[in-house]
Amino acid sequence: MSTAEPIPANAPVSVIFARDANAAGLAPIARPGVAVIPQFSTWNDFTYYFTARLLVLLPQQQPIPFDMHFMVWGFGRTEDFFKQLLLHQDWAPIEHANATYVGILDRVEAYGSLIELLGFARAISALRLLGDAVVLRTEGSDAVRLPLFDTDEFHLGALRASSNYVAFRHGRRYLRPEPQAAVADAATSFRMSTNLLAADN
């Protein structure tokens, strides 16, 4: 897939920002949907605090969480963005957030899991709305947000952990309607014997 080729996936999907998992679960939105909530942590990545959590909201089920790093331009702490946006409400549609943001799931396998839960079109559409690094870099067309992936803030604050960097580099392999077929392990042990001719000394 070319880095400048749109992913053929467009589906209506509710994406919200919420104060916490309880607020996200109670939000009267169409399901399946997606919420992003702040994830407080005292751990910092080179003075940046970008930890957050993506929740998959399915009908009549508890939210299913995925850890992520979510960078909002102009905020050193992602939770400060949520405090400002949700000062007088528990949740808000993503369309109400007047900000520029990008994100990355913390584990590469999470992309496949998200697609399994939401379906390919909904998952890609939600990730695109959230400025997901894997989707935006694969499509290569978001002139506003693509430059953020080259900033020190993103590399230091979102890609410090090796698992995030692996997701950033290899997550696109999971962006497919059907999961990849399992590959049998080629590292099978075997035993070999041979007959050597005796040497005359």
User: Is residue 5 in a domain?
Assistant: no
Does the residue 199 lie in any domain? no
- What is the per-residue pLDDT across 150-188, written as a single tens digit (0 to 9) for each? 999 999 999 999 999 999 999 999 999 887 665 444 444
- The encoded tokens of residue 130 equal 């959230």
Boundaries of domain holding 30: 14-174
> In this predicted model, what pLDDT tens digit does every residue of 63-110 receive, in sequence order?
999 999 999 999 999 999 999 999 999 999 999 999 999 999 999 999
Q: Provide the number of structural domains found in the chain.
A: 1
The amino acid present at 182, given as its one-letter code, is A
CA distances from 77 to 41, 81, 166 (A): 10, 7, 23
Helix (H) / strand (E) containing 128:
helix 120-129
Query: Using CB atoms within 10 A of its CB, is residue 37 exposed (0-12), middle (13-18) or buried (19+)?
Result: buried
Is 180 part of any domain? Answer: no
pLDDT category of residue 41 using cuts at 50, 70 and 90: confident
pLDDT on residue 120: 97
Q: Answer yes or no: is 82 within a domain.
A: yes
196 falls within a domain: no
Instruction: Indicate whether 189 belongs to any domain.
Output: no
Q: Residue 186 falls within a domain, yes or no?
A: no
pLDDT grade for 195, boundaries at 50, 70 and 90:
low
CA distance 21 to 35: 8
Asked if residue 50 belongs to a domain, the reply is yes
